Structure 1
Amino acid sequence: MVPMSGAPVLESDQVSDSGTWFRVEVTSAASAVRRAAERLAAQLNLGEQRTADLAIVAAELASNLVKHADEGLLLLRPVRADEQAGVELIAIDTGPGMIDMDRSATDGHSTAGTLGIGLGAIVRQASWFDAHSVPNRGTTLAVQIWPETPPKPFWAAGVNRPLAGEAVSGDGFASRIRDGRHQVLLCDGLGHGPLAAAATAAALNAFRAAPTAPPAEVVEHLHRSIRHTRGAALAVAELDVPAAVVRFAGLGNIAGAVLEGEDRRGMVSLPGIAGHQRRTVREYQYPLRPGSTVVMHSDGVTDRWRPADYPGLLGRAPVLLAATVLRDAGIRRDDACVLAARAPT
């Protein structure tokens, strides 16, 4: 098991499907989560023992949300790295939170009114586990189950969800490492529903297959590649640690920022619709200091959040930052997606 900590670099591409969200407020929802997890494990050929471990994790997570959390949600999705596929569960809630996350994950520890009960069992079964909690604000917890030795935790991760009432999200994300270039993409397909999702899927596929190049050239490639779709707002960021810069190029309403401590420095995306309308794509550079994190999100997420409101969150895995921002700043009347990336130090 990998202990609760920040995320070192995974030296390969990350491909993560959108998965399924569950509102977990009653016992029957907990049973539904467990059954869905077992079905996903079968589809991924996770193996009998790891499927049983996953069932325990899913049941404990969902049960804790029902018993001890407010407005509990759980995301179940496949995750892939190299030639291996696993299952990830992300649980979020809006309270009551935990004062000592590490102690709450110890077997036998229980604090009335918190999510601490059952975390010991989750930690034992998990291939990888990380969590963050703020009292009276809520908890975000991520667990991965892999069939064999887990990959290194992802250096970049995102979370998306569809507009209320839609089955699929038109927002998506991807990451890649090419010749030492650590690049991430966030895409918001025009509109909502299946056609928006198709535009984003085309952009993500084009990004993974794009030639190794700086972000502006990658954006140009994406613009040409998705002309057959309704188009999208999208942005590409490259975290260049040796040069101590972030290179950023975008078209449309994609927000990007560099987080350093309590500071948040915004990045510029130009007006346009990839695949249809664009001005000359411009690439901007911003300082990237050791330990800084890049966050990108679609316009289904507001800017009304501050790093200072989440003590210790920037030291946790990127997926926790993405899920926490989505929880607190996501807009239910729009598709929403948040991506967080931290390049190696």
Structure 2
Amino acid sequence: MGPVTAAAPPAVEELGWVAVDDSGAAGIARRLAGDGARRLGFTEQRAGEVAIVAAELASNLHRHADAGALSVRILRRGEIGGIELVAVDSGPGMADLPFSAVDGHSTAGTLGIGLGAVRRLSDSSGGFSVPGRGTVLAARLWPAGAVVAGEPPVAGLSRPITGEKVCGDRYAARLHGGALLVLVADGLGHGALAGAAAAAVVDAFHATALDAPGAIVEHLHRAVSHTRGAAASVARIEGGTVRFAGLGNVAGSIASPGGERRGMVAMPGIVGHQSRGVREFAYDLPPEAVVVLHSDGVSDRWRLPDYPGLSRQDPLLVAATLLRDAGVRRDDACVAVARASVPG
């Protein structure tokens, strides 16, 4: 297989969240991830390694964590499909996360091989932990022999409302020349129809060659009138500027590690049904800032200074941490995070 452009954001297919509330969750995670890998054409050996990583992450959550859950999903970059696993918990956290991933280290009297195996079998892995607040771990596994260089400067994560399998909130991103375009869509309501509306917004976002957020939102508004509608916002990041447009209550913010945060303006309306007009706004982007878009299933009461060093981490770890701590269980939730600069 040939290489994939390093900065190209992947297309995402959600396979599901596994709630880790008993020892049987490891088996569920193993099957879900392994079956996804086989569907992508992984060799039996590599699919087995995917299953091991999923089971180890779930087992680690069961042993050490409170309110643990594991996200399993497919990533597609070009013609290559991979498996991404994200474990989140509100447990005691780890003061020395890198050391905790070394084979032989354990805080529970076990052999401590789990996180070392995750790191060893994965193409890329990482984590972020704050003592007393919990831990986020992520791993990506690609087919044996695949060449996938680097990671994109953007990631997002969605979680359905408690009791639903389908999430009505979705994230997408794509490159346009030297600019990064990021979308979050929140289908009205919950369940399959909300998911279909958000999926239609994502499909229309990928189908257009437009690169101005205002024009993109207007295109989405026309394209998804056959659905129940959605709230949606689009950010365009290039150099030291972010341009932003939205209809409805998908929030956008520019957040700096020092605590400064600037909200971006979306207009009232429902994509596909109600609009009094779309307006696009431009904002300066500090060099170390991150751009955060999230649905209204995520509270706006998060602060980057509460997580020292988080803004320098993989955007997926930032998104997962904010989703864990600011996401509400009575609604679908989605967070997307992009860095201020886009690699060339």
* Whole-angstrom CA distance in 1 between matches of 2:210 and 2:180: 10
Letter in 2 for 1:50: R
Is 2:105–2:111's contact at 8 Å kept on the other side of the alignment? no
Q: Indicate which of 250, 255, 258 corresponds to 2:254.
A: 258
Select the residue among 206, 218, 221 that pairs with 1:220. 218
Q: Residue 207 of structure 2 aligns with which residue?
A: 209
Corresponding position: 1:328 with 2:325? yes
| 1:229-253 CA-partner distances (Å, limit 9, x unpaired) | 1111100000111xx1110000000
Residue in 2 that maps onto 1:136 = 132
Q: Give the match's secondary structure for 2:24.
A: helix
Contact residue 98 and residue 114 of structure 1 kept, 8 A: no
Which segment is superposed worse, 116-125 or 82-91?
Answer: 116-125
Correspondent of 1:11 among 7, 11, 22: 7
CA positional deviation for 1:133: 0.3
Match of 2:29 in 1: 33
Task: Determine which of 80, 104, 109 is the counterpart of 1:108.
Answer: 104
Q: Which runs of 5+ in 1 are unaligned?
A: 1-8
Q: Which residue of 2 aligns with 1:191?
A: 189
TM-score (norm 2): 0.93
For residue 115 of structure 1, report the CA deviation from its aligned partner: 12
How far 1:32 sits from its partner (Å)? 1.3
Percentage of identical aligned residues = 53
Segments of structure 2 that go 5 or more residues without pairing to the other structure are none
Match of 1:282 in 2: 279
Which structure 1 residue ranges, 4+ long, deviate > 6 Å from structure 2? Answer: 113-116
AA in 2 matched with 1:65: L
- The letter of the residue matching 2:69 is L
Aligned positions, number? 335
How far off is 1:290 after superposition?
1.7
Q: Match for 2:35: what amino acid?
A: R
Indicate the residue corresponding to 1:21 in structure 2.
17
Contact preservation (8 Å) 1:160, 1:337? yes
Give 2:179's aligned residue.
181
Where does 1:53-92 land on structure 2 (aligned, <5 Å)? 53-92=49-88
**Alignment match, 2:314:** 317
CA distance in 2, matches of 1:13, 1:135: 31
Distance 1:215 1:45 in 2: 36
Per-residue CA shift, 1:183-226, capped at 9, x if unaligned? Answer: 00000011111111111111100000112331101111111111
Comparing 90-99 and 154-163, the one that deviates more: 154-163
Q: Which moved more, 1:229-238 or 1:115-124?
A: 115-124
- Aligned CA RMSD, in angstroms, stands at 1.7
Which stretch of the first structure deviates more once superposed, 249-258 or 31-40?
31-40
Are the structure 2 counterparts of residues 116 and 212 from structure 1 closer, same or farther at C-alpha, using a change threshold of 3 Å? farther
CA–CA distance in structure 1, aligned partners of residues 75 and 65 of structure 2 = 26
Aligned partners of 2:61 and 2:68 also within 8 Å = yes
Letter in 2 for 1:330: G
